[in-house]
A and B are shown apart, each in its own frame.
Chain A
Amino acid sequence: MDSVTAIAIFSIVAAAVCMAIGSVGPAIGEGRAVAQALGSIAQQPDEAATISRTLFIGLAMIESIAIYCFVISIILIFANPFWNHIVAARPGG
């Protein structure tokens, strides 16, 4: 397998694995956060606004981890520096 093929294969696989594994943790964390928030609202309906606001802030923080994985996957597929370098170094463009 020459290096062009190797880079292509490993980039594609890495992008897929990165997104697959990277979305499990945040999803579980967000599910638990929402469950706790629902329980708190059920116990104290007066504080629903504060609880909802804190919930959204917490969800955004948890979501950032999944977003980091997504950015890496997108870079590997669409703006891969190794792929660009190897394609430019090939004779004939």
Chain B
Amino acid sequence: MHITPDQIVLWRWGFVELNATIVFTWIVMLLLTLVSWLVTRHLTASVDHRSRWQSGLEAVVELIRGQIHEICPRESDTYLPFVGALFLFIAVSNVLDIVPGWHPPTGSLSTTAALAISVGVAVPVFGILRQGLAGYLRHYLRPSWIILPFHLLSETTRNLALAVRLFGNIMSGTMIAGILLAIAPLFVPVLMQALGLLIGLIQAYIFAVLAMVYIGAAVQREQEGAK
């Protein structure tokens, strides 16, 4: 039984190896890009001639925009591509777990660490874009310079927690299904698969919302300083 899809090597040439994580990540990327391109080829603003797929895609985008706006009302559209991509990637890779033979790439610590690193890089980038380098560095010293080491520590640990939370939830879902298949093969694995789907969606939402909360915290200091 594999803990992570990293251990399933599909192809090797010399020292370059293609493991299941990479291949399934490519599949998710291909799926998202293909569906988006196919749907947005004939975008229309008219109510009568719009396709169902376009309405569906609009519903998803509006949902994500609404959530982002509730967390950070100012210029919420600049964060929509990043946070929306995070949510869609994690949600699709978790929900496709229902397809037999699918190994969710988010069940590998490599993928979740990469996602957490990209959030850890995006937070200072958005903060500096909004407040300038000096303003962003100055926000580490608020409300007092004494808590600077704790602030830095909390920034690193919350990114680590992002990675381990997502990895642990998805990995445990796949592992429980595998173990139960050996113990009680008839109905119980189905229930655990359903729970795994729910958890996968919730974790995708949590990841995106937490990323948005961290970005919102980084860009919000400017208003407090102006008061």
Contacts and interface: CB of A to CB of B under 8 A. Distances in A.
B149 interface: no
Interface residues of A, number: 13
Given A57-B206, A60-B206, A74-B175, 19 more contacts: A56-B202, A57-B209, A60-B202, A60-B203, A63-B165, A63-B169, A64-B164, A64-B168, A67-B169, A67-B172, A68-B164, A70-B168, A70-B172, A71-B164, A71-B171, A74-B3, A74-B172, A75-B3, A78-B3
5 contacts: A60-B165, A60-B202, A63-B169, A67-B165, A67-B172
Contacts of A60: 165, 202-203, 206
A67 B168 contact: yes
A79 B172 CA distance: 14
Interface in B168-220: 168-169, 171-172, 175, 202-203, 205-206, 209-210
Interface string A59-85: 010011001101100110011000000
A56 B201 CA distance: 12
Interface of B: 1, 3, 161, 164-165, 167-169, 171-172, 175, 202-203, 205-206, 209-210
Nearest to A68: B164
| Chain A residues touching B, majority SS | helix
B218 to A, nearest CB: 18
A71 B206 contact: no
Contacts of A70: 168, 172
The 5 A-B pairs at the shortest CB distance, nearest first, are namely A67-B168, A60-B206, A64-B165, A71-B168, A78-B3
Contacts of A64: 161, 164-165, 168
A13 B3 CA distance: 20
B192 to A, nearest CB: 14
Contacts of A78: 1, 3
B208 to A, nearest CB: 11
Contacts of B169: 63, 67
Interface centre among B1, B206, B210 (most CB of A within 10 A): B206
A72 to B, nearest CB: 10
A57 to B, nearest CB: 6
Contacts of B206: 56-57, 60
B168 A68 contact: yes
Contacts of B205: 56
Nearest to A49: B70
A37 to B, nearest CB: 15
Nearest to A72: B168
Given A57-B206, A67-B169, A79 B3 contact: yes
Interface string A32-61: 000000000000000000000000110010
Contacts of B3: 74-75, 78-79
